Amino acid sequence: MTHSAHSSRSQNLSAATQPHLWDLLVIGGGASGLGTAVEAATRGYRVLLLESHDYAKGTSSRSTKLVHGGVRYLAQGNVSLVREALHERGLLKKNAPHLVRDLGFLIAAYKWWSAPFYGIGLKMYDLLAGKLNLKASGFINRAQALKQIPTLKTSGLGGGILYFDGQFDDARLAITLLRTLQDHGGVALNHAPVTGLIVEDGKVMGARFRDEESGQSHEVRARVVVNATGIFVDNLRRMENPAVKSMLSPSQGVHVVVDRRFLPGDSALMIPRTDDGRVLFAVPWHDHVVIGTTDTPVPDVSWEPRALPEEVEFILKTAAQYLDPAPTRADVLSVYAGLRPLVKAAEGTDTKALSRDHIIRISEGGMITLTGGKWTTYRRMGEDTVNRAAELAGLPARLSLTAGLKLHGATTENLPDHWKVYGTDAERIQALPGASVRLHPDLPYMEAEVRWAVQNEQARTVEDVLARRTRALLLNARASAAAAPRTAEIMAEELGQDADWQAQQVDEYRALADGYVLHGA
């Protein structure tokens, strides 16, 4: 039994609460916050990141799992956004080859005109990517289309276009960034919600936070505070100024996960125009298939948004127009929803037209709010934010290094199946007890991964392990609930916790996982 994980938490806490002045305090541990913190640490600034729940707990673990330029932004004529995203896609593939892979996307042509129309757009996509392009897009015939996706409906199929984009594991990229941050001397703490800002003479000078595990409150001070809380940015802005107008008009995106047999072959399916004018993807991911997404405006933000029945219906109905056999409600292994932090536009615009680009705002008290971006451009968001922060706080100007920075664990070695996301750490995990003992027959994960997550990746709860260090919750919600007791048992050994803690963890996790099961299927 080790208590190293317990001591590493207290070491982190004491590092976070040293009386010195941080250069940057970053609040929020998703794509925006982690990108900003890594950017700051690699420039040699002293940076502390505080996360209220767990890294990527919100939107950053709930994406469509694509590193992409955004084909549909091209359709909207937003060329500069696409060019920037394609450039970042290329950098991420070079810097984290263990987390990003090339994937072919097939646009199946069932109407004579659709192929040339999309073909021209995708040639532009290739050109905008320049020398970082993955592979050229091109037309393929009916037989080639069926080779890529054997389950395509054959009636009326003329062929299609194959183009290439990137695919990744979002929550694993977050943990990789956490590790990269620590490798470069940054400090990060999860389960540490900010409860208030320290404002003196109208200036934001730091924040108060509560350590969820001890219940104790602490104060930290920084030359500049960055609000990178994603869909929750308005809550933090109100801590500085209760009268501030909200920036966001959030929208919900839902995905369903099904068995790989519905999309065998090596390609993803891209449906360019659904009945509501969106793009729908069916993407192979961790030997399962992710199908999504929707775009539903929501009045309130929450930590666990829920799919509406009509969203699930819409996804399954659209998939059924293209796939045979098509998944039904009974085939859904997990359903998850994420909220997009869309920045408000003029009154009355629909959410598809709202800004998909990141926005940086500086408050009267000098707090920097970063929001509205997407995973693909996380690095660029961090660079822009740290440039503004350094200027604002009068920090010594230093060049950005992240465009060429290999992330923690980076390797081009092709590791088998789910070990790949750990990169060079995989060997060390495979040397731990339980490296060949599965947590559940329907999940790829081993007991050793739970130990590793606790010892080296700041996992503190069963949810941290099953939802984000592994992706069990998204791959198969019921199987993940069945794996919870053994997960809690291993974690208790590592953390020095008792049977009561285990029982509470299992109850909490099972209640959570139940929200990812499609009931009445």
Angle 35-40-43 (CA atoms, 0-180°, nearest 5)?
Answer: 125
Per-residue pLDDT reduced to its tens digit, 111-121: 655 666 777 88
57: its two tokens: 């707990």
Condensed to tens digits (0 to 9), the pLDDT of residues 210-249 reads 999 999 999 999 999 999 999 999 999 999 999 999 999 9
Average pLDDT over residues 318-329: 96
User: Are residues 330 and 240 in contact, defined by beta-carbon separation less than 8 angstroms?
Assistant: no
Do the Cβ atoms of 418 and 432 come closer than 8 Å?
A: no
Task: Report the pLDDT value the prediction gives residue 120, as an integer from 0 to 100.
Answer: 80
How many other C-beta atoms can be found within 10 angstroms of the C-beta atom of residue 435?
Answer: 16
Mean per-residue pLDDT, 335-358: 74
The answer to whether residue 154 scores a pLDDT higher than 50 is yes
Predicted confidence band of residue 279 (pLDDT cuts 50, 70, 90) = confident
Give me the pLDDT at residue 416, please: 85
Q: What is the pLDDT of residue 312?
A: 97
Average pLDDT score over residue span 302-323 = 96
Mean per-residue pLDDT, 460-470: 98
| pLDDT at residue 289 greater than cutoff 60 | yes
Convert the pLDDT of each residue in 165-217 to its tens digit.
999 999 999 999 999 999 999 999 999 999 999 999 999 999 999 999 999 99
- Among 119-123, 134-138, 161-165, 499-503, which range has the highest average pLDDT? 499-503
Report the percent of the chain where pLDDT is more than 70.
95
**Structure confidence by residue, pLDDT tens digits, 83-94:** 999 999 999 999
Is it true that the peptide bond before 325 is cis, omega within 30 degrees of 0? yes
**Of 345, 283, 385, whose CA–CA distance to 65 is shortest?**
283
pLDDT at 351: 52
Tell me the pLDDT band of 266, cut-offs 50, 70 and 90: confident
Q: Does 506 score more than 90 pLDDT?
A: yes
Q: pLDDT tens, 38-79?
A: 999 999 999 999 999 999 999 999 999 999 988 777 777 788
If we measure between CA atoms, which residue out of 395, 347, 285, 358 comes closest to residue 40? Answer: 395
pLDDT higher than threshold 70 for residue 145? yes
What does the pLDDT read at residue 217? 98
Check residue 442 and report its DSSP letter. Answer: T
pLDDT at position 354, please? Answer: 57
What percent of the chain lies above the pLDDT cut of 90? Answer: 83
Q: Residue 493 pLDDT > 70, yes or no?
A: yes
> pLDDT value at position 118?
78
SS (H, E, C) 40-77: HHHCCCCEEEECCCCCCCCHHHCCCCEECCCHHHHHCC
3-state helix, strand, coil in the chain (%, to 5): 40, 20, 35
d(CA 449, CA 61): 18
DSSP reduced 3-state for 479: helix
CB 195 within 8 A of CB 208: yes
Average pLDDT score over residue span 449-453: 98
Predicted TM-score (pTM) of this structure? 0.96
Q: Provide the β-strand partners of residue 207.
A: 197, 220
The 10s digit of each residue's pLDDT in 372-406 is 999 999 999 999 999 999 999 999 999 999 999 99
Q: Name the band, by pLDDT with cuts 50, 70 and 90, for residue 355.
A: low
Domains of the chain in sequence order: 4-59+172-248+353-404 (3.50.50.60), 103-167+249-340 (3.30.9.10), 418-514 (1.10.8.870)
- Bigger pLDDT: 48 vs 275: 48
User: How far apart (Å, rounded) are the C-alpha atoms in residues 292 and 273?
Assistant: 13
Mean pLDDT computed over every residue of the chain? 93
Q: What is the pLDDT of residue 1?
A: 42
Amino acid at 161: I
170 exposed, middle or buried (CB, 10 Å; 0-12, 13-18, 19+)?
buried
